[in-house]
Amino acid sequence: MLQYALKELIRRRSRSLLLLFGLIVCTALLAASLSISQAMRNAARQPFQSANADLVVQKELATCPFALVKHAGKLGGIPWTAVEEIRKLPGVELATGVLELWATSGPEETDRAVVTGLVPEDQHRIGPVKRGEDCCQLVDHEIGGRYLKEDDDHACLVEKPYAEKHGLGLGGQVTLGGEPFTVVGTLEAAPGARISAGEVYIPLAKAQDLLGEETVNAIMIRAKDQEAAKAIAQELPRIIPVDTAQGEKLVVTSDANVMSNVAGVAILAQSATTWMAALVVGVVFLLVVKSSLASVGERVREIGTMKAVGWRDAHVARLLALESALVGIIGGGVGTATGWGAAWLYASHTRVQLPSLLNSYPACAKTPPPVDMQFSLEGSGPLVIGAFLVALAIGIFSGYLAARRASKLPPAEALRRV
């Protein structure tokens, strides 16, 4: 019966190609839009995974005066007491504060480095240097390189590009804000954006000494689940008040809203593509059903002859259903492969950068900032399979309707048309 169904599809070449083209287009659009949506979610989630955080809280200032050591970019200070209060909120697993600074560097203090102050106790669990493959590893641990310790004073970690740019190694000296710091380790980061990453890392207490404020300018929060994260976000304006009259803003960023801040046009286009794919699926569904039912009308004499020579209603119905299923399988398979390929091309050539508040490298930075968010199709497999199943379902359902109509056709009526 399979061989007979294939011959029928080949014999009715024009109708079969029309149905296949419609299914390929709708499946490709559906697979591509679903895969691109997943790639965007992966890109938005990546910098938060590298920091092991769900929320990043910052205060944005309207202006920021020049100083030898200053808050990076437009960031404003948040009292450390806010971190302690956030840690007491229900649903908070981890919370820490970092202080991202722009500091003069070099013997003549003519350069400017991005310096991030960390709480040494928290550095391995949450933050811009969280240890792990999705964030950072020491490249010189075998020869004595180490992370920061609680009792460190003028010690620092440096990013590998910064170390290579300035010829730094273990024991090397970095001048920050007029004070010398000794390199105790070199970090190599995984590709992709990182939140509050710097070129040099020092203990938070020392960063506060350089700035002259017992503050942080970014608070990273790890919640127990998404519902807890939403509840925590609602409490933050109470804990961290801002002076809106002076142009201050409290900025709470999560993977749910980071993409909308940096890729609004792309998201709008992707949303339009999704709606268009859904519309095409509906139109193709009606086209395939109409074509399948029309096919029964065109094959009345053939179906009547089959029944007259001994074919049962179930056999005729099975043949028509098999023909439609084959169209669904072929069209769905080709469309799915085409859609996934289009999504792969999009993910490979699209570049989106982290919002500047989350990574405040200045425009004149001598090393490249880790702000490129990585698009990935990881996790899109079930979505692509779902698009294929949609095409298959369209084929099977249209075949079922055609089979029902054919099974009710009296042989005598068909033979009268011969």
Residues 223-243: tens digit of each pLDDT: 999 899 999 999 999 999 988
Kindly report the number of other CB atoms within 10 A of residue 324's CB atom: 28
Helices (H), 88-148: none
Q: 390: closest CA among 30, 34, 38?
A: 30
pLDDT tens-digit readout, 130-157: 887 778 889 999 999 999 999 998 999 9
Give the C-alpha distances (Å, rounded to integers) separating 303 from 178, 313, 326. Answer: 93, 10, 19
Which of 253, 276, 304 is where one domain is finished?
253
- Asked whether residue 65 is assigned to any structural domain, the reply reads yes
Q: Are residues 71 and 18 in the same domain?
A: no
Q: Are residues 285 and 353 in the same domain?
A: yes
Token readout for 254 is: 């999560």
Question: What average pLDDT does this structure show over 399-410?
Answer: 71
- Asked whether residue 194 is assigned to any structural domain, the reply reads yes
Q: Higher pLDDT residue, 246 or 197?
A: 197
Q: Are residues 135 and 181 in the same domain?
A: yes
Q: Are residues 320 and 214 in the same domain?
A: no
Instruction: Count the domains in the chain.
Output: 2
Q: φ and ψ at 7, to 5 degrees?
A: -65, -40
Q: Are residues 40 and 61 in the same domain?
A: no
What is the pLDDT confidence band of residue 274, given thresholds at 50, 70 and 90?
Answer: low
Give 3-state DSSP helix, strand, coil % of the chain, rounded to 5.
50, 20, 30
Cα distance between residue 349 and residue 201, in whole Å: 32
Cα distance between residue 14 and residue 146, in whole Å: 70
Which of 201, 220, 253 is where one domain is finished?
253
- Asked whether residue 258 is assigned to any structural domain, the reply reads no
Q: Are residues 132 and 201 in the same domain?
A: yes
- pTM flag (> 0.85): no
Which of 199, 219, 253 is where one domain is finished?
253
- Asked whether residue 259 is assigned to any structural domain, the reply reads no
Which stretch of DSSP H or E encloses residue 412? helix 411-416
Give the chain's count of helices (H) and strands (E).
12, 16
Q: Are residues 42 and 89 in the same domain?
A: no
CB 44, CB 253: distance < 8 Å: no
Q: Are residues 41 and 71 in the same domain?
A: no
Q: Are residues 388 and 330 in the same domain?
A: yes
Q: Are residues 182 and 331 in the same domain?
A: no
Average pLDDT, the chain: 82
CB 27, CB 390: distance < 8 Å: yes
Domain hosting 340: range is 2-46+264-416
